[in-house]
Structure 1
Amino acid sequence: MESQNCNLNQLPPVAVVMVPLPAQGHLNQLLHLSQLITSYGIPVHFAGSATHNNQAKLRLHGWDAESMTRIHFHDFPLPPLAPHNSTSPPPNPGHCIPFPAHFYPLFEAATHLRQPVSELLHQLSSMFKRIIVIHDIIITSVVQDVKFIPNAESYTLMPISAFTLFLSSWENIAEKPFQLGSEDIPKCIPSNEGCTPPEIDNFVANQFKFLGLESGRIYNTSRPIEGRYVQLLEKLSTNADMKHFVLGPFNPVDIKSKSGRQRHQCLEWLDQQEQGSVIYVSFGSSTSLSDEQIRELAIGLERSGQKFVWVLRNSDTGDIFAEGEARKPQVPQGYEERLKDRGIVERDWAPQLEILAHPATGGFMSHCGWNSCIESISMGVPIAAWPMHSDQPRNAILVTEVLRIGTLVRDWAHRAQLVTSTTIENTVKTLMDTKEGNEMRKRAAELGDAVQGSVAKGGTARLEMDDFIAHITR
């Protein structure tokens, strides 16, 4: 036994294995976190399919190209996502629940990563003193074999806001363990009805059955944003040994001159605009607007009189690289030519972090996915909140009612209704050209400064990351 301990002590101290859910908002978070961890000199292994590893790398912004070389990508095969080796069902912009249900076959296929991930963990366990597995909470079944590896421990990434997570946890407790203050929960909390389809709810519930083995939770949030809700989650925890690490924002907050790629055309256009004069419009990687809604949005933006960068694209499919006929969203005829001096319609992936960080960007019309929320907050940009599905309706309440750095485009209770051009026009004007909007902008800037200060040397987030690294390398 003494000889074995001696050999163990001669091994490198630790390696980290990332296991993401293969959807953009989840891939993105763990790849950002990988960059932060490798900056401490710790090797990181990123486990997924070749398609989704490539997707994550292609779309990552804000880091220099060299930083990616420090991450070891493991490309594992996935089974076919649907019968007859087709890729996956296409996005359905007319569905009553706009959640991208076409991702369901992909999520099911991703559970088959259990065996190759287990083999990777066993292989690495003989090469390092300790293996640290960081996995998305919605893919927990893939890492269940951690319990069979004596020198491995796992940590669960909570990919949503602490506010939304706390609300969901609190609602599921029959006998409340403590009382909440009147300021803890806003009066108008949207219901979860219509947020996700039943097959996704069932998938998530099945993944949660494998929880309980983890040594801690990791939050992609910041204490200046929602420290109160992290405290409430810690108070709710029934496991006294569970550690809670608030390590966000994972995305870089100072991204000037960090990208080695040629600058995107929309950034060149933003260079020519006045400070704070442009609203950025984007609904993320999992939303497809109907043709009718696109028309109303186009008219509303035009009538608002404000400058804009509008990312107009369909939801991702299960394989973004697969060839095939894809729906191409269209604006009204002549629209882009008519507004060429006032706006840009971008139909491909856009460098969101760089756009939000640009001095010309003064607002963000967003679906309120958590990546978009925390990126916007960390750059000090106020939000016109237009939630589409999942955790987004409650994230929108965090933005508008708790933090008061945004305004609602549409109340969740009216989600089935078309958002008219008049509503869009008025919302954009409110955010960009009113006293109320200026106050939101001021609060957003102050919060952005606090978040950026937290990740600077000596800041709370930097110290918490130092503590996390010290813990896993103990």
Structure 2
Amino acid sequence: MEDQNDNDSHVAVVMVPFPAQGHLNQLLHLSHLVISYDIPVHYAGSAMHNHQAKVRVQGWDSESLTKIKFHDFQIPSYISPPPKPELSFHFPVHLGPLFDIPKHLRKPVSELLEQLSKKYHRVIVVHDCLMASVVQDVEFMTKVESFQFNPISAFYRFLGSWEEIAESDKPFQIDPSVNVPRCIPSDEGTMTPEVSRFFVDQQKFWGIESGRIYNTSRVIEGPYVELLEKLLGNDTENKHFVLGPFNPVEMSGNQKRHTCLEWLDEQNKGSVIYVSFGSTTSLTEEQIGELATGLERSGQKFIWVLRNADKADGFCSKKDRNPELPKGYEERVKGRGLVVHEWGPQLDILAHQSIGGFMSHCGWNSCIESVSMGVPIVAWPMHSDQPRNAILITEVLGIGVMVREWEDRGKLVSSVTIESAVKRLMATKEGAEIRKRASELGDSVRKSVSKGGASSLEMDAFIAHITR
């Protein structure tokens, strides 16, 4: 049976996410936002990764999720190698099979677009910038229009685009003292050569889109959005839509609460630091030991999500060995620290009034969620865009502290260093000022997504543009 939305709308939206958690999650959040305008949304990906996105999404009521039409495409089976944590190189090479998936999705996604174009006046494709090859046939479809989604910060995207242009060819000058903080980390060690080649291959299909979408806010990154618009153009044929944060900033109360939230209910406001390194990072046993000791010695309350990184072929199975803590550790910190050995409800945790800080790898998904909840960050970047996101958080926005510099990424981070970073944020005058700035920025971001706010108006403009 067709949804009432399908009968009323002359436009449909198709989301094509890259199949890694931080990418899946962002476009599923955007799907809910578009659905709220009574526009039908189709979410296209492999059956396995669609399932992953659905069971982990937070903050939306179940009725909203049922309105999204998931297209579960079958892809060839593959074996995912186990994560290999190394001190010198944290890029998740075990996710290598994910970079083969786009070539298997081009045909089924193109067929879906053809089918929908027979039913709707216009079909809007929102595709991850890493899935450009999947939607390349849009160029030859008269009723289909594509928009490139950038799952990264405007800061990171601008710096990368600016650095690609030879000095003699730069179209305008920027003031480094204003626009580019000191000590911008290099991209060295952020990804493998194979992944770099994949990115270049996807860039070959950039340029057919009608605009770019960003999961950020002008309240957070206004100067860098403006620089991007100036550098890449912002006109009727190539518009920039700054629609974030996509994630809900007020959590729905009709979901089953995780038991860790009951523990947080018992803690004082702003007294707990949340520790999580996302879905792709695994730490060595030695590093886990140092982190455990550093948290214990800091004297601060903490909630630590400690689990294996996701495999390329889905969730970690129960037979996978969880990372080990020092013997007797959990009993020793009982009452002051809580260790969660499974997927943690990150948005619920960040939104809880007991949370006063977030030790994070600085993936953009985690950054934007933390900023939107007004939570400052103890930055510990691991790979990809994370080192530069950490600079945005600590140097540009002034809402975090750094655990260690990027050039020291190959060294073991000692318990003393970790203890110092945690205390600096949670137990010093400087930390109090940082927490105050984070709280004020969070307030501004939440106002921007409320009715009449800057991000809300920009979302209205995007909807008006695609339904014109």
Question: TM-score, length-normalised on structure 2?
Answer: 0.96
Q: Distance in 2 between matches of 1:431 and 1:97?
A: 27
Structure 2 counterpart of 1:5: none
Code of the aligned partner of 1:136: D
Structure 1 counterpart of 2:60: 63
CA 1:95–1:298: 2 relative to 1, 3 Å:
closer
Aligned to 2:179, the other structure's residue is in SS state coil
Contact 1:97–1:197 at 8 Å: present in 2 too? Answer: no
Structure 2 counterpart of 1:394: 388
Contact 2:145–2:210 at 8 Å: present in 1 too? Answer: yes
Structure 1 residue 338, shift from structure 2 partner: 1.0
Structure 1 residue 209, shift from structure 2 partner: 0.4
Q: Distance in 1 between matches of 2:65 and 2:8?
A: 24
Correspondence for 1:435 among 418, 429, 435: 429
Structure 1 residue 323, shift from structure 2 partner: 4.7
Task: Give structure 2 stretches of 5+ with no counterpart.
Answer: 1-6
CA 1:282–1:118: 2 relative to 1, 3 Å:
same
Code of the aligned partner of 1:208: Q
Structure 2 counterpart of 1:112: 104
Structure 1 residue 326, shift from structure 2 partner: 2.2
Structure 1 residue 72, shift from structure 2 partner: 0.1
Contact 1:111–1:139 at 8 Å: present in 2 too? Answer: no
Contact 2:234–2:240 at 8 Å: present in 1 too? Answer: no
Structure 2 counterpart of 1:218: 213
Number of aligned residue pairs: 458
Give the alignment of 1:68-107 within 5 angstroms: 68-81=65-78, 87-94=79-86, 96-107=88-99
Structure 2 counterpart of 1:330: 324
Structure 1 residue 95, shift from structure 2 partner: 6.4
Q: Distance in 2 between matches of 1:96 and 1:372?
A: 23
Structure 1 counterpart of 2:307: 313
Structure 2 counterpart of 1:167: 159
Structure 1 residue 118, shift from structure 2 partner: 0.4
Deviations 1:302-360 (A, max 9, x none): 00000000000121101224758423201101000111110110011111111111000
Structure 2 counterpart of 1:13: 10
Aligned to 2:178, the other structure's residue is in SS state coil
Deviations 1:360-393 (A, max 9, x none): 0000000000010010000001100000000000
Code of the aligned partner of 2:248: P
Structure 2 counterpart of 1:457: 451
Task: Give structure 1 stretches of 5+ with no counterpart.
Answer: 1-9, 82-86
Q: Distance in 1 between matches of 2:102 and 2:334?
A: 43
Contact 1:382–1:444 at 8 Å: present in 2 too? Answer: yes
Q: Distance in 2 between matches of 1:75 and 1:98?
A: 31
Contact 1:65–1:259 at 8 Å: present in 2 too? Answer: no
Q: Distance in 2 between matches of 1:324 and 1:452?
A: 38
Correspondence for 2:400 among 395, 403, 406: 406
Code of the aligned partner of 1:245: F
Code of the aligned partner of 1:40: Y
Structure 1 residue 205, shift from structure 2 partner: 0.7
Aligned to 1:34, the other structure's residue is in SS state helix
Over aligned residue pairs, what C-alpha RMSD do you find?
Answer: 1.3
Code of the aligned partner of 1:293: Q
Q: Distance in 1 between matches of 2:224 and 2:456?
A: 19
Contact 1:11–1:128 at 8 Å: present in 2 too? Answer: no
Structure 2 counterpart of 1:251: 247
CA 1:465–1:238: 2 relative to 1, 3 Å:
closer
Structure 1 counterpart of 2:122: 130
Q: Distance in 2 between matches of 1:261 and 1:473?
A: 32
Q: Distance in 2 between matches of 1:214 and 1:166?
A: 18
Percent of pairs identical after alignment?
A: 65
